Amino acid sequence: MNRRAIWTFIGFVILATGMMAVILSVVGIKFSFLVWLDDIGRLFGFVVKLLMIVFGAMIMVISRSDFSGEQGSQY
């Protein structure tokens, strides 16, 4: 596996975990390894889960981007 695939997988896992945590918290179920987030505060836990979704998506997009074509353009 190359680095792009590994970072894409990591981003997907973070994104999927955040989405599942938000969806399950609406129903009243919590992931056992994320219970400490809600113990600090419900709003804090919700914000951290939303940040997991955003940063997971960002990691996926950045890891799949190709920045090699941006060096040769001059005005």
- The token pair that represents 33 in the structure block: 């390894």
Per-residue pLDDT tens digits for 3-43: 889 999 999 999 999 999 999 988 988 888 989 988 899 89
- pTM for the predicted model, two decimal places: 0.81
Q: Determine, yes or no, domain membership for 39.
A: yes
Establish if 58 belongs to a structural domain.
Answer: yes
* Structural domain containing residue 12: 3-63
Instruction: Give me the number of domains the chain comprises.
Output: 1
The CA-based angle 43-44-47, given to 5 degrees, is 85
What is the predicted pLDDT for the residue at 34? 87
Q: d(Cα 24, Cα 61) in Å, to the nearest integer?
A: 25
Q: Which tens digit of pLDDT belongs to each residue from 44-68?
A: 999 999 999 999 999 999 998 877 7
The residue with greater pLDDT, 19 or 75, is 19
**30 located within any domain:** yes
